[in-house]
Structure 1
Amino acid sequence: MLRRTLARFGIDPYLLALLATVAVAIILPATGRGAVVANDAVSVAVALLFFLYGARLSPKAVWDGLLHWRLQSLVFASTYVLFPLLGLGLTKAFGNFLSPTLILGLMFVCVLPSTVQSSIAFTSIARGNVAAALCSASVSNLFGMVVTPLLVMLLLNANGGGFSTAAVESIALQLLAPFAVGQILRPWIGTFLQRHKAVISLVDRGSILLVVYAAFSEGMAAGIWSQVTAGDLVAVVLLDMVLLAAVLVITTVVSRRFGFSKEDEIAIVFCGSKKSLASGIPMANILFPGQALGLIVLPLMLFHQIQLFACATLAQRYAKRPVETHPEPESQPMLGPAKA
């Protein structure tokens, strides 16, 4: 009942869980030995998370999706070219109004891969090309484990990023290696994971909550929240909204100009406009060691909820379009003489 009530108002229950985790970290932050244990648990949780990604992702789905190269190319360009360019423009224009850490967090949003679950869910609601959305979102996350760190190195160093070669090793050990092991073991454990989706989802979301708790606990210990004002939060929300609106408009216009079907357009718009909280927070934990991680991921957490509200509304509008029907061929006249 609670889930249905929240859904009626467009509220994501998982967002409430995230907010509750932040509140717990503010009231009862992990310090001392507890902080060490929390960080070790985060490393294990992140490795487990990407192991499960590898075990669930079908290699055939990836290769089938790559065959629709025009659609995949457009989503890839939106995720890893359009977003970073817009982010650079916004941070240059409004960088003086926000702290360097929040600017870094906003740019970090722009270099992340697309989501998987919500991209597919919204495409399905909107009666779009679900198969293409599944492949596109999966490929985006697969490439994101390599492309996102490279973009951090290229773009975020100039904006106060902390990327180093050690981060490459951490990505390989904590993300790529578990993912590869999951792919190898998929023939033996894939069916088991399909039968226990609820448990796997709990592990997925629980891992993210653990990372958020550790990040915000560290922020409390460092006193970073004294640096954030209500004006900062409003500014981040507005910039997130502008960023999302620009991508939604551009992907819609471009997909129509290139002559994609309505179903493909829907997949392009939803996959090309999303940014993954599930991948983003673990990556931030690896790519920005020793920095104010709570502030860096704040723009991502806000963007996550904004994209859910906006895309839920957009999906409902797409779903209301008339159903295309194909007229049945007219029956052919009978040959030969008619019976009396």
Structure 2
Amino acid sequence: MISTVTRLFDPMVRLLVVALLLAIVLPVPQSQQAIGQFIANAAVFALFLLNGLKLPRDQVLRGVKDLRFHGALAIWVFGAMLFGGWGLWQAGGYLVPPLVALGFLYLGALPSTVQSATVYTSMAGGNTAHAVVAAALLNVLGVFLSAPLFALLAGSQAVAFQGEVLAKIALILLLPFALGQMLQPRFGEIVSRNPSLTKWTDRIPIAIAVYVAMSAAVNEGIWSRIAGHEWALMLAGVVVFLAYANAGAWLASGLLGMNRGDRIAFLFGGSQKSLAMGAPLATILFEPARAGIILLPLLVYHFVQLVLAAPLASSLAARPAR
């Protein structure tokens, strides 16, 4: 219980709550939306530059060697989870507004979150080394796979994955990450030994992206576009998706004959979804007003996964291995 409450008041969660409330009370004016988007893009550029600096190359090389674990996890995250999101998108189209339903497909296309997956794996007594490497590898793959996989299933009506969008992804996500990796041997150790340097620079770009996207959604009348019962249905969809993610990851790792420590790492790596990737990418793929609505399932999923993961990790840690 204490762990759950602690995670609920995690600095990232508090910052997201502030960003959402600020977007509701004081959204970016429509006349200043272009400036807000430019600031968000600049913050995202800095975020991915730091991600490139922080990721040691030897982690990637170690992960490549264990194809059985990391290959299976990648197939689960970008295969089974993607089609789980596709299923909720198809079913949700009859129950919630189309953009909210589309948000479930977008949620399914995203990689795992780094911090939560590794923290909860450690709490549950799992293979933390595997969790760290897996989260890093999945986020690298996510830079290249999430957007095209989403576009492939969603179709051109949802996102025109060409021309300007490709240029934005290359400029704002791939270029800074590549620059960070190039500079990593020289400056990566400085960053890793001084986590306070990136403590807030990791969080603030995400909050800015959420604030700008939700501001546009508020300006477009999000409260009149989503009815009360539709909010409840969206929450139910998130809970169903999270149950599918956790149960499916645990069963899949068991069928693959993994040991308990690896199964725990697979569980949290396969069920936690990355807001750090999802929020910035949404501001690139979609118009701001659409991005704010499409992000709703991801934002709700992020909060719910923190609420449920802590007691799950505690239960696994207390349960003796067979």
Q: TM-score, normalised by structure 2?
A: 0.94
Task: Give percent identity, aligned residues only.
Answer: 32
Aligned equivalents of 1:133 and 1:5: distance in 2?
24
For 2:191, what is the secondary structure of its paired residue?
Answer: helix
Q: Does 1:121 align with 2:119?
A: yes
Q: For residues 49-80 of structure 1, what are the alpha-carbon distances to aligned partners after superposition, in whole Å with 9 as ceiling and x for unaligned?
A: 00000000011101101211111122111111
Q: For residues 4-59 of structure 1, what are the alpha-carbon distances to aligned partners after superposition, in whole Å with 9 as ceiling and x for unaligned?
A: 97854651432232122111112111115543332111111000000000000011
Q: Which amino acid is the alignment partner of residue 210 of structure 2? A: V
Q: Which amino acid is the alignment partner of residue 103 of structure 1? A: A
Assess, with a 3 A threshold, how the Cα gap between structure 1 residues 159 and 270 changes in structure 2: closer, same or farther: farther
Q: Report deviation, 1:249.
A: 1.1
Aligned equivalents of 2:196 and 2:40: distance in 1?
21
Assess, with a 3 A threshold, how the Cα gap between structure 1 residues 109 and 159 changes in structure 2: closer, same or farther: farther
Assess, with a 3 A threshold, how the Cα gap between structure 1 residues 35 and 268 changes in structure 2: closer, same or farther: same
In structure 2, what is the equivalent of residue 246 of structure 1?
Answer: 244
Q: TM-score, normalised by structure 1?
A: 0.89
Aligned equivalents of 1:318 and 1:110: distance in 2?
25
Q: Does 1:145 align with 2:161?
A: no
For 2:20, what is the secondary structure of its paired residue?
Answer: helix
Aligned equivalents of 2:90 and 2:157: distance in 1?
10
For 1:164, what is the secondary structure of its paired residue?
Answer: coil
Q: How many residues align?
A: 321
Q: CA RMSD in A?
A: 2.0
Assess, with a 3 A threshold, how the Cα gap between structure 1 residues 34 and 159 changes in structure 2: closer, same or farther: closer
For 1:177, what is the secondary structure of its paired residue?
Answer: helix
In structure 1, what is the equivalent of residue 196 of structure 2?
Answer: 198
Aligned equivalents of 1:219 and 1:76: distance in 2?
32
Aligned equivalents of 2:23 and 2:83: distance in 1?
34
Aligned equivalents of 1:232 and 1:32: distance in 2?
26
Question: Would the aligned equivalents of 2:44 and 2:172 in 1 still touch at CA under 8 Å?
Answer: yes
In structure 2, what is the equivalent of residue 99 of structure 1?
Answer: 97
Aligned equivalents of 2:224 and 2:303: distance in 1?
24
Question: Would the aligned equivalents of 1:12 and 1:305 in 2 still touch at CA under 8 Å?
Answer: no
Larger Rg: 1
In structure 2, what is the equivalent of residue 88 of structure 1?
Answer: 86
Q: For residues 248-282 of structure 1, what are the alpha-carbon distances to aligned partners after superposition, in whole Å with 9 as ceiling and x for unaligned?
A: 11221121122111000001111011110011000
In structure 1, what is the equivalent of residue 172 of structure 2?
Answer: 174
In structure 2, what is the equivalent of residue 45 of structure 1?
Answer: 43
Assess, with a 3 A threshold, how the Cα gap between structure 1 residues 6 and 227 changes in structure 2: closer, same or farther: farther
Residue number among 211, 214, 237 corresponding to 1:213 in the alignment: 211
Q: Report deviation, 1:126.
A: 0.8
Which stretch of the first structure deviates more once superposed, 161-170 or 298-307? 161-170
Aligned equivalents of 1:25 and 1:6: distance in 2?
29
In structure 2, what is the equivalent of residue 331 of structure 1?
Answer: none
Q: For residues 63-112 of structure 1, what are the alpha-carbon distances to aligned partners after superposition, in whole Å with 9 as ceiling and x for unaligned?
A: 10121111112211111110121122222233211111101111100001
Question: Would the aligned equivalents of 1:54 and 1:180 in 2 still touch at CA under 8 Å?
Answer: yes
Runs (5+) with no aligned partner, structure 1: 325-340
Aligned equivalents of 1:320 and 1:295: distance in 2?
39
Q: Which amino acid is the alignment partner of residue 11 of structure 1? A: L
Aligned equivalents of 1:89 and 1:221: distance in 2?
30
Aligned equivalents of 1:229 and 1:287: distance in 2?
25
In structure 1, what is the equivalent of residue 64 of structure 2?
Answer: 66
Question: Would the aligned equivalents of 1:115 and 1:275 in 2 still touch at CA under 8 Å?
Answer: yes
